[in-house]
Amino acid sequence: MQLSKEQLMIQKMAREFARKDLMPMAAERDQKHEYPADSLKKMGELGLLGMLVPEEYGGEDMDTVSYALAMSEVAYACASTAVIMSVHDSICCGSLLRFGTEEQKQKYLVPMAQGEFVCSFALSEPEAGSDPAGMETTAVRDGDHYILNGTKRWITGGATSELFIVLAKTDPEAGHKGISAFLVTKDMEGFSTGRLEDKMGQCASDTTDLLFNNCRVPADHLLGKEGQGFVVAMSGLDDGRIGIAALSLGVGQAALDQAVEYSKQRVQFGKPIAKNQGLRWMIADMATDVEAARLLVLNAAAKKDNGQKCSKEASMAKLHASEMANRVTGQAIQIHGGYGYTKEFPVERLYRDARVLTIYEGTSQVQKVVIANDVIGDKKKGKK
């Protein structure tokens, strides 16, 4: 795919920032579970936290291809920072842009796009992940407020974000049509966060429960119309999946580069291991895997930019890229041998960071359902 001069400039800017600011701190932040607050502030100043938002709301009004390129560069340096960027940019800013009132956009979207604070998306629950209709969090109208009760789980940025888009049932009998979306700030009465999850990877990005105990949310903080929450959630899936696919691409590329560099330096039997045919074939497979992911990501992003339906392509990109990241990071550790199993080398962190990529923003199995339904032509109620 031929990139424009503007897209190449954005890629270069993101790469230079990520390699200079994020990469030197990535291992330490991972070990200390340290949120990258300073880096996020700089990213806001560079426009990386409002890439898809129009200029009239404080954003950069960039295309999806540029967003994917920047995301890959950030993830190459630090996957923890990249997932914060992905949730904030694609799902949260996008949802406010599509469904927010003018007042909501001015109050929340403008400062979000400028990186003044980070927003998180709260959909998953202890008993509801891939099936949003199974959520148990409720929102009951009480005069000029809604009263929220329930628990949200696996929320990226739960302890650090200032604003949350929370999905809750306003009509428990209506299934997915009874779900509504709300803008919740951390200072609202009845809202608190649970313990920090002790995760396998992406440790500089906090993940917590959100607890709602008769949380009073002003009625004007309803995002979209009552009963439109499922539509709000689904509307951001293409952007979100392209974002995570691009994140996966960055992790996979980083692992490939680390493996190539190490194979040239490591000497066994009197020669660099890069001279061994078996290892060269491993690297050839890894490079092909990464490049296939890159083309799928850019294809999905380009189709979206062209106004074409891209749900299948976004799912294909997310499916392949996330599985690729797991394969390639595993092969990178194999090439490093015992050293790859230690925290002395970056591939150990990349391997841990990659594992969750096949789970969030829709599991690999969910992506296959989406792809198969599109290819086969199944409708929700039968077949064509």
pLDDT tens track for 5-31: 999 999 999 999 999 999 999 999 999
R_g of the chain computed on alpha carbons: 21
The per-residue pLDDT for 23 is: 98
To the nearest 10 degrees (0 to 180), the angle between helices 237-265 and 79-86 is: 170
Higher pLDDT pick, 297 / 134: 297
Asked if residue 266 has pLDDT above 50, the reply is yes
The per-residue pLDDT for 129 is: 78
Q: Which residues neighbour 260 within 8 Å (Cβ) at sequence distance 6 or greater? A: 274, 283
Looking at residue 109, its amino acid is L
Averaged pLDDT for residues 198-226: 97
Asked if residue 378 has pLDDT above 90, the reply is no
Q: Which residues neighbour 144 within 8 Å (Cβ) at sequence distance 6 or greater? A: 218, 219
- From the candidates 73, 125, 323, 361, give the one annotated as an active-site residue: 361
Residue with tokens 């291992």: 27
Q: Which residues neighbour 380 within 8 Å (Cβ) at sequence distance 6 or greater? A: none
Asked if residue 383 has pLDDT above 50, the reply is no
Averaged pLDDT for residues 336-362: 97
Asked if residue 380 has pLDDT above 70, the reply is no
Q: Could you tell me which residues are beta bridge partners of residue 121? A: 165
Chain length of the chain: 384
Asked if residue 384 has pLDDT above 60, the reply is no
Confidence of residue 37 (pLDDT cuts 50, 70, 90): very high
Half-sphere exposure of 204 (CA within 13 A, CB side): 29
With 0-12 / 13-18 / 19 or more C-beta atoms within 10 angstroms meaning exposed / middle / buried, residue 17 is: buried
With 0-12 / 13-18 / 19 or more C-beta atoms within 10 angstroms meaning exposed / middle / buried, residue 143 is: exposed
Asked if residue 33 has pLDDT above 90, the reply is yes
78: left (phi over 0), alpha (psi -120 to 50) or beta: beta
Q: What is the pLDDT of residues 143-187, one digit of tens each?
A: 999 999 999 999 999 999 999 999 999 999 998 899 999 999 999
Higher pLDDT pick, 311 / 380: 311
Averaged pLDDT for residues 182-203: 96
Has 45 been annotated as catalytic?
Answer: no
CA distances from 155 to 83, 208, 300 (A): 11, 5, 26
The DSSP string of 53-118 is S-GGGTS----HHHHHHHHHHHHHH-HHHHHHHHIIIIIIIHHHHHH--HHHIIIIIHHHHTTSS-
Q: What is the pLDDT of residues 44-75, one digit of tens each?
A: 999 999 999 999 999 999 999 999 999 999 99
The per-residue pLDDT for 236 is: 86
Averaged pLDDT for residues 261-289: 97
User: What does the alpha-carbon distance between residue 330 and residue 66 come to, in Å, rounded to a whole number?
Assistant: 28
- Smallest CA-to-CA distance from 124 within 155, 99, 146, 149 is with 155
Averaged pLDDT for residues 131-137: 87
Instruction: State the chain's mean pLDDT as an integer.
Output: 95
The per-residue pLDDT for 381 is: 46
User: What does the alpha-carbon distance between residue 215 and residue 212 come to, in Å, rounded to a whole number?
Assistant: 5
CA 235 to the chain's CA centroid: 15
Q: Which residues of 296-307 are buried (b: 16+ CB within 10 A; e: fewer)?
A: bbbbbbbbbeee
